[in-house]
Structure 1
Amino acid sequence: MTTSSRPIIRLDRVSKHYGDAVRRVTALDDVSVDIGAGEFTAVMGPSGSGKSTLMHVAAGLDQVSSGRIWIDGVDVTGLGDKELTELRRRRLGFVFQSFNLVPTLDVAENVRLPFLLGGHKVTREESAWIDRLVEMLGLGDRLSHRPHQLSGGQQQRVAIARALASRPAVVVADEPTGALDSRTGSDVLQILRGAVSEWGQSVVMVTHDPVAAANADRILFLADGRVVGDRPAMDAAAISTTMLGMETAA
């Protein structure tokens, strides 16, 4: 299922099991899917459908039980921890529901954290990009603030700035609006949408919210660890109807 000439993430017959042979739980069951470069892809499904597991293995955060995964052309299936960590740092940006900001660092330091962790000196061009991001995200007057001095929406904006700062190949967002009110959540989704349409990023977002998923170019529906639907952009009402049908069938 290829949506562009160059997939940014490719899963080939990927399965993920937990537990032993007696109590084995299958979270992903022989999944093959391509995530298109320069696209906003939403991943949806009922609780326990495997959507979070899909995101974790697709981002190199968890090992697969079988199958292979490529991220930006790199086969990550057999990579060791050090190589995986380096690849995630260089090619992936992460936005989580819980923000995951470092409480002892101010906004400026949190945004530049990927560079600090990698021991990479920020170039003049990278610094200009970060300054532009900070301005676009409305964080210019918050750079010296610590996370506890910010609202939830501001903290999520910092997390997005951090995710985009190193211009990664793909941004992975796990329920990025789950802890936000609807207005702030809408702002965050517009920023992610802009990352795709204006800056050429690729975004993969796991969400249970049809309104959030309606911002995507493509929606993957999961059930029982399998991709059961692969649809182009849909409005929130159509997504809700599809989800309701899946839960009724289950």
Structure 2
Amino acid sequence: MTYGTGEGAVHAVRSVDLEIPRGGFTAVMGPSGSGKSTLMHIMAGLETPTRGRVWIGDREITGLDDEALTVVRRRRVGFVFQAFNLMPAMDVMENVLLPFELDGRRPDAEQQAWIEELVARLGLAGRLRHRPGELSGGQQQRVAIARALAGRPDLILADEPTGNLDSRSAREVLELLGMACRELGQSIAMVTHDPRAAAHADRVVYLADGVVVRRDEAPAGADAIASAMLLLEEGTRA
């Protein structure tokens, strides 16, 4: 992905070949300016790559117009953000159903049963009529996860999902994301700067200067990830 032309061109992401496997939990890490956000935007169809091709599930999204991309994002991608991005005037269930509302449809019987299972698994069954302001940060992030999973998308993109949470709530949210992969077969790509968060993933992909420079399958824990990040940052500064 290149911004600008000529000598002023910035190559935000270059020659990245990355697959998020079904039922896989991938953490994406790298120093500031390494291309993490650009990569996530490309994966979500929010940015069109200068070169290359992008697929979400069995659908190639390269070259789709804005209207088609909007439909793809609503139906095939779920988002979990650091700031939760819940609608404050809506209660929990209304927030969970928001992707369906935006898409102009209602859940069918099978989808409704799935949503009810989700809110039960996420410990939200007793909070469905509460508004976000009546919930803790951890509970709000659970609602965001339920909303992301409600439509059974091909891919969940989580952008620093624990950044606004205390350590206990962060651990609970990461365990829930892990459960979504193991038990529900959900594919998750999580951008994070936190080695403790990345340690919950099945795989850690490291970016530097827009290039994938390292891939760790079954990472050995937060300390090992922190050491890898330190080496990466030192190499970037050198």
Using structure 2 for the length normalisation, give the TM-score.
0.95
When structure 1 is superposed on structure 2, of 41-50 and 65-74 the one drifting more is 65-74
Match of 1:113 in 2: 98
Deviations 1:138-189 (A, max 9, x none): 1122211221222211111110000001111111101000111110000000
Matched, 1:18 2:3: yes
CA distance in 2, matches of 1:215, 1:85: 30
CA contact (8 A) 2:20 2:188 kept: no
Q: Is contact 2:48–2:63 with CA below 8 Å preserved after alignment?
A: no
Superposed structure 1 runs of 4+ greater than 6 Å apart: none
CA-to-aligned-CA distance 1:195-230 (integer Å, 9 cap, x gap):
000011111101111111111111110000000001
Query: Which has the larger share of helix?
Result: 2
SS at match of 1:30: coil
- Residue aligning to 1:174: 159
Alignment gaps of 5+ in structure 2: none
Output one character per residue of 1:3-27: Cα deviation in whole Å (capped at 9) or x when no partner. Answer: xxxxxxxxxxxxx122343432221
* Alignment counterpart, residue 172 of structure 2, candidates 179, 183, 187: 187
Gaps of 5+ in 1: 1-15
Q: Distance in 1 between matches of 2:7 and 2:134?
A: 49
Which of 71, 74, 77 lines up with 2:59 in the alignment? 74
What displacement does 1:133 show?
1.0
Q: 2: CA distance between counterparts of 1:150 and 1:65?
A: 42
Question: What is the alpha-carbon distance in structure 2 between the residues aligned to residue 75 and residue 140 of structure 1?
Answer: 37
Amino acid at match of 1:238: A
More strand by share: 1
Q: How far is 1:33 from its partner?
A: 2.1
Q: Work out the CA distance in 1 between the residues paired with 2:96 and 2:27.
A: 25
Work out the percentage of aligned pairs sharing the same amino acid. Answer: 57
> How big is the shift at 1:127?
1.1
- Give the structure 2 partner of residue 33 of structure 1: 18
CA distance in 2 between counterparts of 1:196 and 1:182 reads 21
Partner of 1:8: none
Aligned-residue CA RMSD (Å): 1.2
Larger RCO, structure (CA 8 Å, separation 6 or more):
2
